[in-house]
Structure 1
Amino acid sequence: MFMNLSNQEKIDILRISKKIFICIVRHTGKDLDKLSLKTCIVKDLRISGDDVDDLVQDINRYFQIDWSSLNFKEYFDGEGFSIVEFFVF
């Protein structure tokens, strides 16, 4: 994943990741040591609905990101209980 990057690029990715992880810890209470670049926000952390919006706003405190082109429904579940998820094993 990082093999073709310069040392500075690797440092930048780690710096950015750490700030995002701190936001995730604030919103989930998860242990920072349990998070990695492979952690899935929806499946592993079960963040959805309004919680995604809160997380995005917190991340925007560090980074000015234009989220307008992201289709949130494609990546995140809506608020509330899903009967389909209940029956999927």
Structure 2
Amino acid sequence: MARNEEDNIGKTIDSLKNQTHDIHPIVVVDDGSVDATPTIAVEKGCQLVRLPYHEDSYVGRPELANVRNAGLERIKEHGIPDFVIQMGADHILSDNYV
């Protein structure tokens, strides 16, 4: 999940790609960014779910579930994966996390 995270999203995606086990697909749910976040995600080879811009933050609100569910719906298009990692666009995983 990402919203206006152009300074972080590239490093986060790189940390996912550097895992011991292949993580595929990497789906980025863009929650109405007005910066380069979605462009960076696509350039890094991620699938993008782009939600419409909204002024209010969904953090701590029930609407956040809709953001998460949008990503899960896209993942289901590829079949049921062995695992799903839901994380923010500013999280960096160590190389052997997965």
Per the normalisation by structure 1, the TM-score is 0.28
Per the normalisation by structure 2, the TM-score is 0.26
- Which structure's relative contact order is higher, taking Cα pairs within 8 Å and 6+ residues apart? 2
Larger radius of gyration: 1
